[in-house]
Chains A and B, each alone.
Chain A
Amino acid sequence: MKIKTYPELKESLFFTKLDNGLDVYVLPKQGYRKTYATFATKYGSIDNHFQVEGKPKIKVPDGIAHFLEHKMFEQPEGDVFAQFATQGASVNAFTSFDRTVYLFSSTEQIEQNVNTLIDFVQTPHFTDENVEKEKGIITQEINMYKDSPDWQVYMGLIQSLFQQHPVHIDIAGTEESIHEITKEMLYDCYHTFYHPSNMCLFVVGGVDAEHVTSLAANNQSAKNIHPQGEIKRYFEAEPKAVKAHEKKIQLSVSMPKCLCGIKEVYGYEEGTSLLQKQLEMKIIMDLLFSPSSTLYQQLYDQQLITDSFSSDYKAYNTFAFSVFGGDTPDPDRMIHMIRSNIDEYIKNGLSKEEFEVSKHKQMGSYLRLFNIPELIAHSFTDYLYKNCDFFDMMSTFSRITWEGINDRLRHHFNWEVMSVSVVERK
């Protein structure tokens, strides 16, 4: 067991790599009654074409990672929800573009709950019948998202930005694509991506690190899981150009929703350089778009945005994109005002003084995350899969300079690779 101490956070993280390859992280939090645990696999909606060393290449239907997540809850002896309830734990899971995460939150019977979490995720039980039955439930989930303008405008943006990369595929798939899913396909995906060497257990809360680690170690050694070769993931090369500059759909909304995004495609990046890029962009997005910015207040005073306006930057190993927008009565005017404002900054640079304040603001927001076990666990796995240490952000912050920010701004805001997604009133 290794201990890494982060004095500026007043936190200590315990890490062990088990013999079968499973990474176990424990963050004891003094004063906390609850324990929050995530058991995550580096397997999301984008991993639809892959191969395990020595085995054939496989291509799978859209939405299968999410389907698999649903099916894991069904166990040979019944539904695992009931067992967690008996042990006073609230259990859940989610699938994103690049990972599937199973989690529980509990204030009692922590040992049993950690074991149950690991055990149910390591016990696939798929039958023709239970796979068919799930299709009705997931169809309702897909229909729920069809009626959600916020999700539709977001997916619409990603679909206009990306031509080839599977990030443009809706995480839940479509009614047609999930119809093709069989138990054999689920087992193929399961055996590829749910191997311990592709997974990570993160436990945070009122726990003893040594105790939790040995619990996980005992659980795993009893199962005698054989090693697996490397997983190769295949992604078609993504062109630099966007797929479409604009995408419009109609739904029953009170006012149009408009999101803009700018795409970046690069060679492979991970670790500190990716983290630094991400933090620089966070500061830039904050300086441009937060409620303390001049642009925000101008847009707001002219009634071109509402409190729903937001911005974000998402970076992955081979691509990234920014996203900004919200409800607006006039998407064209909103975009025009944003563009001319940013063009000014590209010409004249961002203010050095405001940069310093924004950096402190980002550090403050980062530190505040450490109050909330859920956010620590999710941020940690998110960054882990990009080979970044979530706990080591303060040192990356200190390397960010005003000059670097201005370079990044000029590099990112290339209007030729901007897409706009609009949900109009039906």
Chain B
Amino acid sequence: MSAGFERREYNNMRIHVKPTTQFKTYTMTALLAVPLCEQEVTKTALIPHVLRRGTKRFPQTDQLRKHLDHLYGTGFAFDVFKRGNYQVMQIKLDTIHEAFIQENQNNMLEASFRFLSELITEPYTEQGVFKQEYVDTEKLTLQKKLQAVVNNKTRYAEQRCLEEMCKDEPYRFTALGKLEDLDHIDPHNLYEAYRQLIETCSIDIYVVGDTTTDKVTSLAKQYLTMDRAEINTPFHAHPYVKNRNKEQMIVDQLEVTQGKLNIGLHVPVTYADKDYPALLMYNGVLGSYPHSKLFVNVREKESLAYYASSKLDGIKGIITIQSGIEIHKVDQVINIMKQQLELMRNGEISSNELEQTKAMIRNQINELDDAAFSSISYDYNQIIAGKERNKHQLIEQLEGIEAEHIQHVAKKVELDTIYFLRDKESDNV
């Protein structure tokens, strides 16, 4: 069994290494986090899009991609996501270990670490700023991505629900920013934002594979030599602040066959709190598994939905319920869902529900280390929540949870927003 991550600090960056021979690859992730803020959100989202177009060494995008091909098809992905009130850019690489390559290949770890570092620190520039053409094309790409949210109705409903729920805070934005900002972005102000970001943001570098912490640290010293401000941003929790006294109901209409019913719940408990394990159990009993109350009562007993589940954002303190239902049955489904919340408040949780939920969560936690990227995500969650709670401790705390602990959390849960996406037939709206 592999141990946890070993940690070093260098140049105001955190380096996390898990030496292991479990995998056939070297897996690495760079995570760059900034506070989510209205003025910068779109620029921050655009930056990794432009970074992936070219570096000093590989100015053209096809050259850059061909280099990855030469490294035995190194896996490459980037994305931007929200975690609490932070916006995080993530770049991931997955490179095959030398032992599986017949020909003499130079050091694969070093080659991909160097590539990752160059993507972050040595973007291709012309006249001291990002290349105009790259910025223009990537602005259009981002615009299309923002517009494409409507294509996936499940995700659209989820996002609209959060947007309405968090109307008065930056969390309402998607991690990709806002359409209306794009017109004001040019190579100069974007490059300026990039310089600022790379100097001051929180940087976490993760490597999982057959290596050592010393080796990775020395690679960082060689390739991550950019100037960093003398700060190492500590993370702070920014839980959702409730801003309404009674629940709101929002209805949108689009050309759809199926209705999407989403509910946003406010929970004043987050990852760093001692009640967090009870909150995890609350969400499990309510809706994250096929034995949970939502699945059993909405789908199995009443045949009202194909999916009905709940999801916890433990950093932000929000639970969202999602389901796809027949449009004219919405009132019936809302009633059943509210009944389930009521059962939770009354502590009506059977010992089976308790034991099954514990076993499922335990399994999820124990599985994490079998995929390098998921072990990185779990670890980074702790970093960004500013609270170390290793897997062993979390499992131990979960074992001690009883129905009354869950009820204690349930009493603090408040229904905030009901969101319904329905068809355009205008009756009964």
Interface residues of A (CB under 8 A from B): 8-10, 30-34, 79, 81-82, 85-91, 105-108, 133-141, 143-144, 146-150, 205, 251-255, 257, 290-294, 296-297, 300-301, 303, 306-308, 327, 357-358, 360-365, 367-368, 370-373, 426
Contact = CB atoms under 8 A, between A and B. Distances in A.
A32 B360 contact: no
Given A108-B363, A290-B65, A292-B68, A371 B23 contact: yes
A211 B380 CA distance: 37
Given A107-B367, A147-B256, A327 B72 contact: no
A297 B73 contact: no
A285 to B, nearest CB: 14
Contacts of B174: none
Interface in B1-59: 1-2, 20-25
15 contacts: A31-B21, A34-B366, A79-B291, A81-B289, A85-B290, A86-B356, A88-B363, A91-B290, A140-B306, A148-B153, A150-B151, A297-B62, A360-B72, A365-B75, A373-B370
Top 7 A-B residue pairs of the complex, sorted by shortest distance between their CB atoms: A136-B303, A361-B73, A364-B72, A292-B65, A85-B356, A88-B359, A364-B73
A205 B102 CA distance: 26
A303 B140 contact: yes
B185 to A, nearest CB: 17
B153 A147 contact: yes
B66 interface: yes
B147 A255 contact: yes
A148 B305 CA distance: 16
B362 A88 contact: yes
A81 B290 contact: yes
Nearest to B355: A86
Contacts of B99: 10
Contact of B363 (A90, A357, A365): A90
B306 A357 contact: no
Contact of B144 (A90, A306, A365): A306
Interface in B106-165: 133, 137, 140-141, 144-145, 147-154
Given A85-B360, A292-B66, A300-B137, A140 B22 contact: no
Contacts of B102: 8
Interface residues of B, number: 75
B61 A8 contact: no
Contacts of A297: 60-62
Contacts of A82: 291, 352, 356
Given A10-B99, A138-B306, 9 more contacts: A10-B24, A32-B22, A33-B367, A79-B290, A135-B303, A137-B303, A147-B256, A292-B68, A360-B73
Contacts, number: 196
A138 B145 CA distance: 31
B256 A90 contact: no
Nearest to A358: B69
B226 interface: no
Contact of B148 (A136, A255, A373): A255
Contacts of A138: 306
A248 to B, nearest CB: 16
Nearest to B108: A364
Which secondary structure dominates where chain A touches chain B? mixed
A32 B370 contact: yes
Contacts of A296: 62
B152 A148 contact: yes
Contact of A140 (B148, B152, B324): B324
B41 to A, nearest CB: 20
Interface string B396-420: 0000000000000000000000000
Interface string B330-363: 0000000000000000000000100111011011
Given A144-B306, A254-B151, A107 B366 contact: yes
Nearest to A108: B363
Contacts of B326: 139-140, 143
Contacts of B299: 137
A365 to B, nearest CB: 5
Contacts of A327: 144, 148
Nearest to A371: B23
A10 to B, nearest CB: 8
Contact of B73 (A88, A139, A362): A362
B359 A136 contact: no
Nearest to A373: B370
Nearest to A360: B72
Nearest to A8: B100
Contact of B1 (A33, A91, A362): A33
A360 B300 CA distance: 48
A373 B37 CA distance: 40
Nearest to A294: B62
Contacts of B306: 137-138, 140-141, 144
Nearest to A31: B22
Given A33-B370, A252-B255, A292-B65, A361 B356 contact: no
